[in-house]
Amino acid sequence: MEFHSASRQNGTNVDYISDADRVKIVSMRHVIEKEDPASKVADDATLRRFLYARESNVQNASELYLKYSKWRQTFVPHGYISETVITNELKKNLACMQGFDKEGRPIAVVILNRHKPCYNALEELKRYFVYSFDKMSSSTSREQEKFAIIADLEGWSYKHVDIRGYLAILEILQSYYPERLGKLYIIHLPYIFWAAWNMVYPFIDKRTREKVVLVEKKDIRTTLLNDIDESQLPEIYGGDLPLVPIQDAVVPNVPPN
């Protein structure tokens, strides 16, 4: 399935930057370019995401961006994650991506019963989610920078619980993709979910917590249709779109030339 910018509507125009934000972005540039000359390639919209993630505190936002830049240079040295280094994870079809919500955010579905913890494969799992977050981010537009995720726990049991993996993915999302998550729906909650949730919850920052929606089974369709048109909703939730494994979703300029 190919993603086209014409499908994205109702997003916030990131081309508009207030005078107050622009002053702070200029200050950020002075800080980060002094420490990392390669940061000159960062555009204003990117720096604003880091600024918002740190409550408009220039110093904290600069530190977060420099952490991101250093990580990106070491973890993604070629600019993208090659599918050849995540073949085991790709076989699981853990993440799928298709459609857009009513705010123009691309939608990803993560089917968690397709993952089981394997401690010697944590690095590949991390690379798989960087690959996925990159692809989801690239399917956004200048008018809407965020994506939405449906985390489906149907059939999820003790054998699927991977706290170490969840915390690693959460760290990547919060530190290296700030202000990319628009909403996270967690659905089909089994009883054992709450034990795992209580372990992970303290590591979720305030801004991310505000985007998490825990959905009871009886409310899944109503909740999703409130934010997603039926034409853009996956078939498994009563919509019109088939699930498309994320590696099969065609996004312009992914991988980059």
d(CA 98, CA 250): 10
Assigned token pair, 180: 């990319």
Instruction: Let me know: does 150 contact 110? Beta carbons within 8 Å.
Output: yes
pLDDT for 121 equals 93
pLDDT for 15 equals 54
pLDDT for 222 equals 96
Assigned token pair, 49: 């995401």
**Superfamily name with CATH number, domain 83-248:** CRAL-TRIO lipid binding domain (3.40.525.10)
Length of the chain measured in residues = 257
pLDDT for 10 equals 39
pLDDT for 7 equals 36
Instruction: List the chain domain ranges.
Output: 19-75, 83-248
pTM value is 0.91
Residue 119: burial class (beta carbons within 10 Å; 0-12, 13-18, 19+): exposed
11-24 pLDDT, tens digit each = 444 456 788 889 99
The one-letter amino acid code at 218 reads K
Residue at token pair 């959905």: 215
180-210 pLDDT, tens digit each = 999 999 999 999 999 999 999 999 999 999 9
Instruction: Let me know: does 196 contact 158? Beta carbons within 8 Å.
Output: no
pLDDT for 17 equals 79
pLDDT for 171 equals 97
pLDDT for 257 equals 62
| Rounded mean pLDDT for each run of 10 residues along the chain, 257 residues in total | 37 64 94 91 93 95 97 94 96 97 98 92 97 96 94 96 97 97 98 96 96 97 97 96 96 79
